[in-house]
Amino acid sequence: MNNNKKKVLVAMSGGVDSSVAAALLKQKGFEVVGLYMNFLPRTAGENGPISEEKSAEAAASIGIEHYTVDLSKEFNKRIINYFVKEYTLGNTPNPCVVCNDRMKFAALLTESRKAGASCIATGHYVRIGRDPDTSGFYIKRAADKKKDQSYFLYLLLQKQLSRTLMPLGDKSKAWVIEMAETLDLPTARQKESQEICFIPDNDYVSFIKKKTTAGFSEGPIMDKGGHVLGKHRGYARFTIGQRRGLRLSAPHPLYVLDIDPEKNAVIVGPEESLYKKAFKADRLNWISGQTLESSLLVKAQIRYNHKAQEAVVSPKGPGMVQVEFKNPQRAVTPGQSVVFYEGDTLLGGGTIIRDQS
């Protein structure tokens, strides 16, 4: 491939990964432009610990053009409002998954057309390829399994993948840091952010309370039989599997098993009751662009730090599937993403929904 005339727009957060991604693409002969996407109002400070200034410094060090686009209003509408609403529904949302779909890649493609770039790139640790038999694009886990970020990208579509480059997919984090130091990039020692970008102190309860009173009224803490064991100060303070904050006296530890917004109730029980074998999911996306027609044996992952487990996924009416694990899994949480793999290949995923039975 002759890259000398190919222009690529790279999402640059100011972190080491996106900086090295941009540098690698320049080395390969691409005409590289860096884009910083500002998701938060200027008065809110940085997007977490990583700033626009660091992004611009990295671009200058690499020797590429760089500019910023302000997406704060759209981010508030599409991501923050979604995040708050999900908690008021008793769910535990996954804003990074939704942000990649509704914000980052959507904005990158829009800006790439304005910039005259034929492709886009990010510093995600995943591998993108093309099947020679079907000509369809696929996503595989990163070579560095500890850094693999494919879980967050299952909502991407073929039209997005066809224009996306992921230069770090076959690299290790150690290699990336070494390369950043070799290139003397100002982000080489940049500390990684572990929190949600719009909640840098990780205090999501205080953040939500500033946005709404829904989910914060006093209500009962109940066992599965409906017996009231105590009171809570708002179900939005809890998520499945949580033990802390219940303030209950019991002969054995109790954990949050479910949340019932209609009854304003938090359901608790012993840890063994947290394990679940089957559940349903909706808001599905399949990377191939095809829908699931029959049951399929997969490895299913229900959290980013959850090790994917053998399961059967089966269609259950329009836009819904049932997932049945071979072995019960702990804390299957409504609102979180379940993502399906075949080997290292990402098949797709969906959003876990509450059992209505």
Q: What whole-number percentage of the chain has pLDDT above 90? A: 88
- pLDDT at position 49 is 40
The strand pairing partners of 272, in sequence order, are none
Q: How far apart are CA 247 and CA 234, in angstroms?
A: 13
Q: Where are the domain boundaries for CATH 3.40.50.620 in the chain? A: 7-182
Q: Where are the domain boundaries for CATH 2.30.30 in the chain? A: 215-269
- pLDDT at position 42 is 59
Burial class (CB in 10 A: 0-12, 13-18, 19+), 68: middle
- pLDDT at position 1 is 44
- pLDDT digits 0-9 by tens, 228-283: 999 999 999 999 999 999 999 889 999 999 999 999 999 999 999 999 999 999 99
Q: Nearest to residue 58, comparing CAs of 19, 106, 30, 32?
A: 19
Q: Which residue reads 């803490």 in tokens?
A: 221
**DSSP element (H, E) containing 38:** strand 31-38
CATH number, span 215-269 = 2.30.30
- pLDDT at position 196 is 85
Which among 24, 62, 197, 311 is annotated as catalytic? 197
The CATH number of domain 275-353 is 2.40.30.10: yes
CATH number, span 7-182 = 3.40.50.620
Q: Which residue reads 């940085």 in tokens?
A: 46
Which among 11, 22, 33, 99 is annotated as catalytic? 99
Our answer to whether residue 119 is catalytic in this structure is: no
Q: Which regions in the chain score pLDDT beneath 70? A: 1-5, 42-50, 193-194, 356-357
- pLDDT digits 0-9 by tens, 152-164: 999 999 999 999 9
- pLDDT at position 356 is 67
Burial class (CB in 10 A: 0-12, 13-18, 19+), 3: middle
Q: Where are the domain boundaries for CATH 2.40.30.10 in the chain? A: 275-353
- pLDDT at position 318 is 87
Our answer to whether residue 96 is catalytic in this structure is: no
In terms of pTM, does the model score above 0.75? yes
